[in-house]
Amino acid sequence: MPVTADAVRDALDDVTDPELDQPITDLDYIETLDVSDDGDVHLAFVLPTAWCSPTFAWMMAADARDAASALDGVADVRIELRDHMHAEEVTRGVNEDLSFETAFDTADGEVASTRATLDRKARLARQYDAMEALDDAGVDDRQLARLRRGDLTVEEDRVTIDLDGLYVELDARPLERYLEKARAVDLVTDDDDRLFASRDEETLSPADVPRARRASRLAKTNMGGQGGVCASLHASRNPELADD
Strand, helix or coil for residue 170: strand
Question: What does the pLDDT average to over 3-19?
Answer: 96
Note the pTM of the prediction, 2 decimals.
0.90
Fold of domain 5-109: GMP Synthetase; Chain A, domain 3 (3.30.300)
Cβ partners under 8 Å of residue 66, min gap 6: none
Q: Cα–Cα–Cα angle for 172, 175, 180, nearest 5°?
A: 115
* Overall CATH class of domain 113-226: mainly alpha
pLDDT of residue 110: 80
Domain ranges of the chain: 5-109, 113-226
Please, what's the largest Cα pairwise distance for the chain? 59
Neighbours of 34 (CB within 10 A): 12
| pLDDT at position 243 over 70 | no
Residue-wise pLDDT tens digits, 146-190: 999 999 999 999 999 999 888 999 999 999 999 999 999 999 999
